[in-house]
């Protein structure tokens, strides 16, 4: 709908609110044809009319300034409506108007204000601005998509021209509360805009790719040491197996929900593709928290969890081939309990769950793989900049497996890691960690104690309660804790202290706003789906090792890991160059493009899957 559709019916004033203290002509602008406070609809189109002074909400002008900027009046189904000029949505009547006026126009403005704060509007605005910056139109391709806002046709579908925005809009309508999943898809869609413009049929593939193939949700009842019954929720999302069997970890953490598991499974699908392994993507877990639980309580929970999960996984399960592994909260202890129950229920031994003990199935270097791989990836980035890790000051978040093994490898390369963190705060040692200090940190975390204990042995170090390490001066930052740990303010802090490279060790640890700060500041940003692919790489090698009944040495595994991380970096750079994307954005967009193209080609060749 455009301005050309504005009605020519009897004049109808748009009655907007005005705070006390404004006179009728103070803000009058005869050239502001879209200033809604001055709009009237009549036979001669839009014309300014005097403002009405009302005793209503203060600061209305500040609150609604952006809404006025992107709005216009038009006719919808015989009634005048206020529309968003970016994505053509209009305000609908609300039961209650938060701005105090009962007029229907203000109710529409209230609804439009909510719309303008929505992800859909912000994405439309971003695409519009991007198209102006790059001198290219917004990508639009014909696509069949189920439209829930219209009447169904005989076939149940409507064909209309849509862009990548329409895929996001469909997800927003279908799963409006799955914020982590929406964020993950948004990042990928942004990167794929030049791909979709060049190869239109990939729009159809992307629409199918963002919908998981199977989602399993189940209850997990268990009994604690006092004999009291508890219940948690279990998940397994089998996202895509176009490239091979589902592969992805299990996470036990209180924050686990369907949105988190879906985003992890989507990221895992692309990560597995980028690693060149013939593996699909999946993820699972539970909102169970192993911290503070006894060994017997954890064992009973794992047994109960597996009693349902085993029906949906396994190397010989028909029709599902799914081999999970560990993640946050699921280490060797939990894997051992899960595998023991799986073996008892199925009488199957090989090919299921990793990492297990070295004596019964895993590779050497499996625990270290993700953390080491993050540093190997950073090493490749620096090599292109003709630099090395030696003497570079590094800030690391987290104190789990990925973070501590990343610190270990940074020490090996002569870097100076100065921080680690936990849920209570962060630890800063200005002199940098060495192997002895790292050993102490590991001992502290093994006993589930606070990193504050470190200061007792090294009093020159400092522990900061309820703070994050992103304001510490550094050359490289490694967010290795959890999703969305680094926000807009943290990103600004990193830029202000001179950080030049950010390498994600966790899955999506940076918010979309933080990534935008890095982009505008021209710093190098390595996405998690590329940088932390070392873990799944080793799992693929482990499956090959188990099939051949051999045990590779740690040196052999480490050499293969370095080769894979170098290959991932080079593929990302090449994919970005193929679509005209330069540094430093090449790392993010190139990883998304390279991983998508491999999955998309497999899906095209397999038909409508």
Q: Is 283 a catalytic residue?
A: yes
The torsion angles phi and psi of 240, rounded to 5 degrees, stand at: -160, 135
pLDDT for the residue numbered 607: 92
| pLDDT reported for residue 548 | 56
Which pLDDT does position 129 carry in this prediction? Answer: 56
Q: Alpha-carbon Rg of the chain, whole angstroms?
A: 27
Q: For position 523, what pLDDT does the model report?
A: 95
Strands (E), 85-213: 141-145, 158-162
Which residue among the candidates 271, 283, 401, 445 is catalytic per the annotation?
Answer: 283
Cα 473 to the center of its chain, rounded Å: 26
pLDDT for the residue numbered 99: 42
Residue linked to tokens 């598991």? 261
Token reading at 504 = 């994600």
> Which pLDDT belongs to residue 284?
97
Q: How far is CA 173 from CA 38, 162, 189, 238, 330, in A?
A: 34, 15, 17, 22, 33
> Using a CB cutoff of 8 Å and minimum separation of 24, what contacts does 74-79 make?
74/1, 74/2, 74/3, 74/5, 74/6, 74/7, 75/5, 75/6, 75/7, 75/9, 76/1
What confidence score (pLDDT) does residue 364 get?
Answer: 64
Retrieve residue 375's tokens.
Answer: 């540093």
Average pLDDT per run of 10 along the chain, which is 609 residues long? Answer: 35 35 36 36 43 41 47 62 59 41 52 61 57 40 29 32 70 89 93 91 93 96 97 97 92 96 96 90 96 95 96 69 87 91 83 50 72 97 96 97 96 98 95 97 92 96 96 97 94 96 96 93 96 82 61 82 94 96 93 97 92
For the chain, the distance separating the N- and C-terminal CA atoms, rounded to the nearest angstrom, is 35
Residue 476 DSSP code: E
Instruction: Give the closest residue to 404 by CA, choosing from 366, 370, 354.
Output: 370
Task: Return the pLDDT at 418.
Answer: 98
Is the distance from CB of 371 to CB of 404 less than 8 angstroms?
yes
Q: In the prediction, which pLDDT does 536 show?
A: 82
Going by C-beta distance under 8 Å and a sequence separation of 6 or more, which residues neighbour residue 125?
A: 70, 86
């Amino acid at each position: 709908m455009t301005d050309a559709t504005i009605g020519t019916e009897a004049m109808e004033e748009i009655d907007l609110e005005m705070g006390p203290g404004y006179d009728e002509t103070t803000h009058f602008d005869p050239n502001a044809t879209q200033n809604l406070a001055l709009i009237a609809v009549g036979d001669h189109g839009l014309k300014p009319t005097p403002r009405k002074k009302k005793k209503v909400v203060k600061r209305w002008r500040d609150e609604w300034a952006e809404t006025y900027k992107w709005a216009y009046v038009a006719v919808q189904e015989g009634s005048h409506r206020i529309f968003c000029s970016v994505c053509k949505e209009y305000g609908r009547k609300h039961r209650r108007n938060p701005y105090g006026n009962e007029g229907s126009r203000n109710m529409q403005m209230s609804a439009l204000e909510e719309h303008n704060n929505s992800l859909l509007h912000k994405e439309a605005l971003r695409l519009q601005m991007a198209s102006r910056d790059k001198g290219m139109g917004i990508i639009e391709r014909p696509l069949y998509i189920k439209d829930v806002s219209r009447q169904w046709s005989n076939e149940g579908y409507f064909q209309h021209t849509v862009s990548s925005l329409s895929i996001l809009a469909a997800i927003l309508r279908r799963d409006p509360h799955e914020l982590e999943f929406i964020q993950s898809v948004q990042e990928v869609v942004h990167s794929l805009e030049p791909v979709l413009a060049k190869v239109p049929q990939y729009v159809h593939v992307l629409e199918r790719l963002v919908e998981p193939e199977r989602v399993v949700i189940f209850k997990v009842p268990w009994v604690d040491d006092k004999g009291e019954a508890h219940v948690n929720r279990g998940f397994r999302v089998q996202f895509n197996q176009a490239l091979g069997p589902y592969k992805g970890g299990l996470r036990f953490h209180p924050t686990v929900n369907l949105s988190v598991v879906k985003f992890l499974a989507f990221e895992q699908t692309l990560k597995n593709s980028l690693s060149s392994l013939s593996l699909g993507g999946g993820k699972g877990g539970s909102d169970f928290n192993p911290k503070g639980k006894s060994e017997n309580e954890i064992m009973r929970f794992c047994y109960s969890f597996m009693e349902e999960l085993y029906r949906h996984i396994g190397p010989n399960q028909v029709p599902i081939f799914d081999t999970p592994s560990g993640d946050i909260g699921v280490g060797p202890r939990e894997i051992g309990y899960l595998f023991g129950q799986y073996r008892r229920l199925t009488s199957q031994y090989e090919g299921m769950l990793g990492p297990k003990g070295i004596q019964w199935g895993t590779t050497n270097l499996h625990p270290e793989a993700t953390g080491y791989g993050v540093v190997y990836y950073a090493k490749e980035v620096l090599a292109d900049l003709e630099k090395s890790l030696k003497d570079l000051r590094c800030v690391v978040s987290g104190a789990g497996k990925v973070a501590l093994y990343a610190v270990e490898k940074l020490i090996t390369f002569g870097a100076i890691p100065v921080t680690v963190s936990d849920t209570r705060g962060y630890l800063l040692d200005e002199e940098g960690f060495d192997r002895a200090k790292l050993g102490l940190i590991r001992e502290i975390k093994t006993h589930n104690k606070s990193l504050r204990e470190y200061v007792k042995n090294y009093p020159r170090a400092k522990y900061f309660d309820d703070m994050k390490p992103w304001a510490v001066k550094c050359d490289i930052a490694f967010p290795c804790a959890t999703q969305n740990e680094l926000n807009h303010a943290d990103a600004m802090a990193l830029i202000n202290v001179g950080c030049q490279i950010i390498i994600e060790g966790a899955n999506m640890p940076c918010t979309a706003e933080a990534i935008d700060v890095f982009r505008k500041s021209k710093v190098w940003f390595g996405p998690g789906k590329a940088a932390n692919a070392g873990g799944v790489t080793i799992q693929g090698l482990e499956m090959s090792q188990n099939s051949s009944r051999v045990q590779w040495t740690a040196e052999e595994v480490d050499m293969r890991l370095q080769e894979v991380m170098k290959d991932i970096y080079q593929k990302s750079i090449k994919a970005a160059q193929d679509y005209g994307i330069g540094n430093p954005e090449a790392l993010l967009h190139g990883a998304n493009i390279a991983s998508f193209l491999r999955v998309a080609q497999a899906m095209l060749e397999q038909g409508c899957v």
